[in-house]
Structure 1
Amino acid sequence: MKPYPLLFKPEMKERVWGGRDLEQFGLQLPDGPIGEGWMIGDHPNGTTKVVNGELAGLGLDQLREQYGQELFGSKGCSKKTGRFPLLIKLLDCQDDLSVQVHPNDEYQRLPQGELGKTEMWYILAAKPGAKIIYGLKAGVTRGELTQAIAEKRILDCLNEITVEAGDSFYIPAGTVHALGAGVLVAEIQQNSDSTYRLYDYDRPGLDGKPRELHIEDSLNVIAYDGAGATRMKTELSATNQWLTLARSPFFVTEKGLVDQEWALQTSSDSFVIHIVCSGSGAIRWGDGELPVTPGQCYLLPANLGEYTLTGSMTVLRSYLP
């Protein structure tokens, strides 16, 4: 089997805060408010299947079992779970998400077989005035946060930031955060579905009942002195060069502006994932070529070797460090 860029059928997730904006990428959405498109995933709560080429119809879990290191590279499977190590999402936030925090891999109360969750966000689009919550205010202690939760004034303890398209946020495990209404986001994260909610605006969930909060777990895993979260504007001054947005123990994510032809290559260590943010172009490799459009997420096998991005487009590139 000759390697080629893999495109997957997303797993769509209904969320109380979701909408229909992922349709702008040509994606087929089920009924209801769709908040998350799991674009590339190998998780018990959602596994994507290949839709193009010789491997069409196979799930990412089946690729892992049949081809493993050949496709994903020597670092390409989680040492803890054996699964694909990353989960790639597109998020449509029509309402505020819950205030939440994620555990790290070492948290003892993680569900069996689950990873912690370090992630990053790239803002694809933002309505004027859209905001996110990003970390605790300086000096907030566990005791002060606990008291604020009891007195229903948790928002007084949180940093609120106005965002715009092109903003990038690195969110290590232990960082309190929440996306706000009016943003469309690309998310690169550890392959985990573990979220602890601190606050959910006292709203009902999709079933009409209040969504569960996880106060004790949240208070346990928060990094009160900071976990190394960083944010940046990502305007690019040159084409065909990578700007590093996030470098973590779990993934590296970079942004590039493609102009005409950009020759690149994979390595035997890791697969490469490209998310097309805007513009249009193609991926060329060996004797193949695929047109690409915004919202598409491609997995390039570790053994693909040399390939070329063409056209005029903004892309994210993620791989294992």
Structure 2
Amino acid sequence: MTLLPRRWVEKPWGRDCLPPPFTAPAGCHIGEVWFEPPAALPSLLVKYIFTSEKLSVQVHPSDAQAQSLGESDRGKEECWLVIDAEPDATLGIGFREEVDAETIRRAALDGTIEDMLVWYPVRAGDFFYIPAGTVHAIGAGVSLVEIQQNSDITYRLYDYGRPRELHLEKGLVVARGTPHDPALRRHLPHAGTVELVSNAFIVAHRCDGLPDPAILAQYAGPCIVIPRKGEMWASAIPIHPGDCAVAGSAADITFDPAGSCVLVRPA
């Protein structure tokens, strides 16, 4: 078992006061906490995101689209588990109704694309899966765990007038002008082990207490453990909330009977 190195990432939209168990370094506005992908699982990246302002309206390509557009990286599918949210916090995901590429272009240029998205009020325990091609934006006052394909490709369509590069032409190639599928979002039950996602890219479960043997069997190879409550152990190494670790298999992890974690592996 290996604890993954943690990297604090400052962002203009980051925060100097983070939800427990994190504490921002003095004088820093932390927007993201990255965990370096392990050599055993290079296709996955886990990070925490903390926002004080809206992030850009953006979209990510699929593997095939990234290749066709000449990118050197894979595409990006991702999912979000909200861990904390201010009362008015929202996530913008997908369009209110079907729109074509020219409508998206005009809206990105004049800023009305923000109003075309559906902004979902969020609270801790909400889960969203974001397929490649989904136009989305994370609102202010949100803290979440992001589990994604390990890719750095982001096409910004609109950025509220901030002086950053936009990627409108590539973004229009990959953007789906459709609403978000309701099957890809839900509020998790307060307790219990639940499957978060199982598809061609990511398998993930939220595990409360001691996982059922059938769940452990799905993680018979290298997997990532993200503790959310309690203390866990692997190879005599403690893993606490705020840590992220890779284990040879879930059988190598000693779970806290009163704890909670997220298990992740590539499909």
Normalised by the length of structure 1, the TM-score is 0.74
Query: Per the alignment, in what secondary structure is the counterpart of residue 224 of structure 1?
Result: coil
Indicate if the aligned counterparts of 2:97 and 2:179 stay in contact, CA closer than 8 A.
Answer: no
Provide the rounded CA distance (Å) in 2 between the counterparts of 1:320 and 1:226. Answer: 27
Look up the match of 2:186: 232
Look up the match of 2:233: 283
- Which residue of the other structure, out of 164, 170, 183, is the alignment partner of 1:217? 170
CA drift of 1:96 comes to 1.0
Provide the rounded CA distance (Å) in 1 between the counterparts of 2:198 and 2:212. Answer: 22
Task: Write the mapping of 1:187-206 to structure 2, written as runs, cut at 5 A.
Answer: 187-203=146-162
Q: Deviations over 1:209-229 (max 9, x none)?
A: x01111111111012346857
Indicate if the aligned counterparts of 1:257 and 1:314 stay in contact, CA closer than 8 A.
Answer: yes
Provide the rounded CA distance (Å) in 2 between the counterparts of 1:268 and 1:315. Answer: 14
Provide the rounded CA distance (Å) in 2 between the counterparts of 1:186 and 1:179. Answer: 12
**Residues 23 and 121 of structure 1, relative CA distance in 2, 3 Å threshold:** closer
- Which residue of the other structure, out of 109, 114, 117, is the alignment partner of 2:69? 109
- Which residue of the other structure, out of 14, 17, 25, is the alignment partner of 2:21? 25
Provide the rounded CA distance (Å) in 1 between the counterparts of 2:189 and 2:266. Answer: 24
Look up the match of 1:52: none
Unaligned runs of 5+ in 2: none
Q: Deviations over 1:277-301 (max 9, x none)?
A: 2x312225xxx43433322211112
Look up the match of 1:56: none
Query: Per the alignment, in what secondary structure is the counterpart of residue 14 of structure 2?
Result: strand
**Residues 133 and 227 of structure 1, relative CA distance in 2, 3 Å threshold:** closer
CA drift of 1:25 comes to 2.6
Instruction: Tell me, yes or no, if structure 1 residue 251 matches structure 2 residue 251.
Output: no
CA drift of 1:91 comes to 0.9
Look up the match of 1:14: 10
Normalised by the length of structure 2, the TM-score is 0.88
Task: Write the mapping of 1:61-140 to structure 2, written as runs, cut at 5 A.
Answer: 64=39, 72=40, 76=41, 84-107=42-65, 108-112=68-72, 114-140=73-99
Q: Deviations over 1:117-139 (max 9, x none)?
A: 00000001111110110111222
Amino acid at match of 1:301: G
**Residues 201 and 291 of structure 1, relative CA distance in 2, 3 Å threshold:** same
**Residues 87 and 289 of structure 1, relative CA distance in 2, 3 Å threshold:** same
Provide the rounded CA distance (Å) in 1 between the counterparts of 2:220 and 2:89. Answer: 38
Indicate if the aligned counterparts of 1:266 and 1:301 stay in contact, CA closer than 8 A.
Answer: no
CA drift of 1:156 comes to 2.5
Instruction: Tell me, yes or no, if structure 1 residue 151 matches structure 2 residue 151.
Output: no
CA drift of 1:273 comes to 1.1
List structure 1 segments (4+ residues) > 4 angstroms apart after TM superposition.
Answer: 225-229, 261-269
Indicate if the aligned counterparts of 1:276 and 1:294 stay in contact, CA closer than 8 A.
Answer: yes
Indicate if the aligned counterparts of 1:36 and 1:90 stay in contact, CA closer than 8 A.
Answer: yes
CA drift of 1:202 comes to 1.1
Indicate if the aligned counterparts of 2:17 and 2:24 stay in contact, CA closer than 8 A.
Answer: no
Provide the rounded CA distance (Å) in 1 between the counterparts of 2:87 and 2:179. Answer: 29
**Residues 190 and 110 of structure 1, relative CA distance in 2, 3 Å threshold:** farther
Provide the rounded CA distance (Å) in 2 between the counterparts of 1:26 and 1:97. Answer: 21
CA RMSD of aligned residues (A): 2.6
Amino acid at match of 1:181: A
Q: Percent identity?
A: 33
**Residues 231 and 162 of structure 1, relative CA distance in 2, 3 Å threshold:** same
Query: Per the alignment, in what secondary structure is the counterpart of residue 188 of structure 1?
Result: strand
Look up the match of 2:263: 317
CA drift of 1:9 comes to 2.2
Instruction: Tell me, yes or no, if structure 1 residue 35 matches structure 2 residue 31.
Output: yes
Provide the rounded CA distance (Å) in 1 between the counterparts of 2:251 and 2:175. Answer: 41
Provide the rounded CA distance (Å) in 2 between the counterparts of 1:316 and 1:294. Answer: 11
Look up the match of 1:293: 240
Q: Deviations over 1:171-224 (max 9, x none)?
A: 011001111111111010001011011111113xxxxxx011111111110123
Look up the match of 1:307: 253
Paired residues, what number?
Answer: 263
